[in-house]
């Protein structure tokens, strides 16, 4: 399908803007037995949904951000994996123009929010360790709701801007998207022979800076401050407090930034495998890491479990 091109008789021409009825998502190229990989992604997706149910236990202001992280993890996986499985397991690689833009919007919206949530959690740890006496004054339910709400609004604006800039492009030649979903970069580059893609190119460079690089710089800077503060407080307790967040940061930022920095020399298949695993593994591992590494969270889970056991024990007695 690499020869698939736009047919002028089938395209929607709106004021000289050529919009094709569909695109073709190429996915992996010449790799045998890839259906097993898609089945693996399906199992990871199911485990991710189950695990993130445990994360939705916001018992303190901090866990409003944890709840938001679990919510975006579930939504992000749901926006990507079911469509990916339908596309490649059942060979439905054609996707309509409107469906492609909708898929692009939701996948990048939840990806952006995953990064912003990790940044919010980093600021929580920064205040907790560097300003412990003011923690409950600064980190309140109201402040966390305002912070997460502002993050959602900014993420929505950024992604919507990228999608709107694509609607002004004409796709008059190839319609093959060299990715595993309607990826922003491979999509707008299809229009480069027919339209001015400079604004889209600017967004493609500005977006990762705002969504990935700036948050990562902030997180690194916050942990430099935390490291400095460790010399004046109990080291073991502080390290235990930050370990879970550092692991989440590493499994989210390192693979995706590695791929972005080296995208020009990484083969297409390697890029797709790396990005697809980055999309599904962090949502599965986040709740496991938080439950195992966070004492407060384990206590919350134990209390909830004990309440449910007590309710089940009381129910038969009341019925008799």
- 190 versus 266: the higher-pLDDT residue is 190
Q: Decide if 111 contacts 208 (C-beta within 8 A).
A: no
pLDDT grade, residue 190 (50/70/90)? Answer: very high
Residue given tokens 């966390």 in the structure block: 144
Q: How far apart are CA 4 and CA 249, in angstroms?
A: 40
Is residue 309 pLDDT above 70, yes or no? no
Among 28, 29, 23, 26, residue whose Cα is nearest residue 6: 23
Prediction pTM value: 0.82
Q: How far apart are CA 304 and CA 115, in angstroms?
A: 29
Task: Write the Ramachandran bin of 25: left for phi over 0, alpha for psi from -120 to 50, otherwise beta.
Answer: beta
- The stretch 11-27 carries a mean pLDDT of 76
- The stretch 154-180 carries a mean pLDDT of 92
* Residue 254: per-residue pLDDT: 82
* Residue 148: per-residue pLDDT: 92
Could you tell me the CA-to-CA distances from 6 to 19, 222, 290 in Å, in that order? 9, 49, 48
Please enumerate in sequence order all residues whose Cβ is within 8 A of that of 178, keeping only pairs 6 or more positions apart, or say none.
Answer: 26, 186, 268
Q: Which two tokens stand for residue 153?
A: 């609004």
* Residue 153: per-residue pLDDT: 96
* Beta bridge partners of residue 176, listed in sequence order: 24
Instruction: Identify the helix (H) or strand (E) that includes residue 72.
Output: helix 62-89
pLDDT grade, residue 147 (50/70/90)? Answer: very high
- 240 versus 36: the higher-pLDDT residue is 36
* Residue 155: per-residue pLDDT: 96
Range of lowest pLDDT (13-22, 47-56, 176-185, 233-242): 233-242
Range of lowest pLDDT (27-41, 86-100, 134-148): 27-41
* Residue 268: per-residue pLDDT: 77
- The stretch 122-149 carries a mean pLDDT of 86
Q: How far apart are CA 274 and CA 198, in angstroms?
A: 27
Which domains are delineated in the chain?
22-293 (1.20.1070.10)
- 226 versus 221: the higher-pLDDT residue is 221
* Beta bridge partners of residue 39, listed in sequence order: none
Q: Decide if 238 contacts 230 (C-beta within 8 A).
A: yes
269-295: b (≥16 Cβ within 10 Å) or e: eebbbbbbbbbbbbbbbbbbbbbebbe
């Amino acid at each position: 399908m690499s020869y698939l091109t736009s047919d002028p008789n089938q395209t929607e021409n709106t004021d000289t803007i050529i919009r094709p009825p569909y695109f073709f998502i190429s996915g992996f190229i010449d790799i045998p037995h890839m259906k097993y990989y898609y089945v693996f992604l399906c199992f990871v997706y199911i485990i991710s949904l189950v695990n993130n149910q445990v994360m939705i236990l916001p018992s303190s202001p901090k866990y409003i951000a944890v709840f938001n992280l679990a919510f975006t993890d579930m939504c992000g996986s749901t926006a990507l994996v079911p469509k990916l499985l339908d596309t490649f397991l059942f060979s439905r690689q054609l996707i309509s123009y409107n469906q492609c833009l909708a898929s692009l919007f939701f996948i990048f919206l939840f990806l952006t929010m995953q990064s912003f949530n990790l940044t919010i959690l980093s600021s929580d740890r920064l205040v907790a360790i560097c300003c412990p006496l003011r923690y409950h004054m600064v980190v309140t339910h109201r402040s966390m709701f305002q912070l997460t709400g502002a993050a959602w609004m900014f993420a929505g604006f950024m992604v919507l801007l990228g999608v709107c800039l694509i609607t002004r492009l004409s796709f008059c030649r190839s319609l093959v998207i060299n990715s595993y979903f309607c990826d922003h970069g491979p999509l707008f580059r299809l229009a480069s022979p027919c339209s001015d893609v400079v604004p889209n190119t600017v967004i493609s460079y500005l977006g990762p800076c705002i969504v990935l690089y700036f948050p990562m710089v902030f997180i690194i800077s916050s942990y430099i401050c935390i490291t400095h503060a460790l010399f004046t407080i109990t080291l073991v307790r502080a390290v235990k407090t930050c370990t879970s967040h550092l692991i989440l940061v590493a499994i989210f930022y390192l693979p995706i930034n590695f791929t972005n920095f080296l995208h020009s020399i990484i083969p297409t298949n390697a890029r797709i495998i790396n990005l697809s695993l980055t999309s599904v593994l962090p949502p599965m591992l986040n709740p496991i890491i938080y439950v195992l590494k966070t004492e407060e969270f384990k206590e919350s889970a134990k209390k909830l479990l004990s309440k449910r056991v007590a309710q089940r024990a009381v129910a038969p007695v009341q019925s008799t």
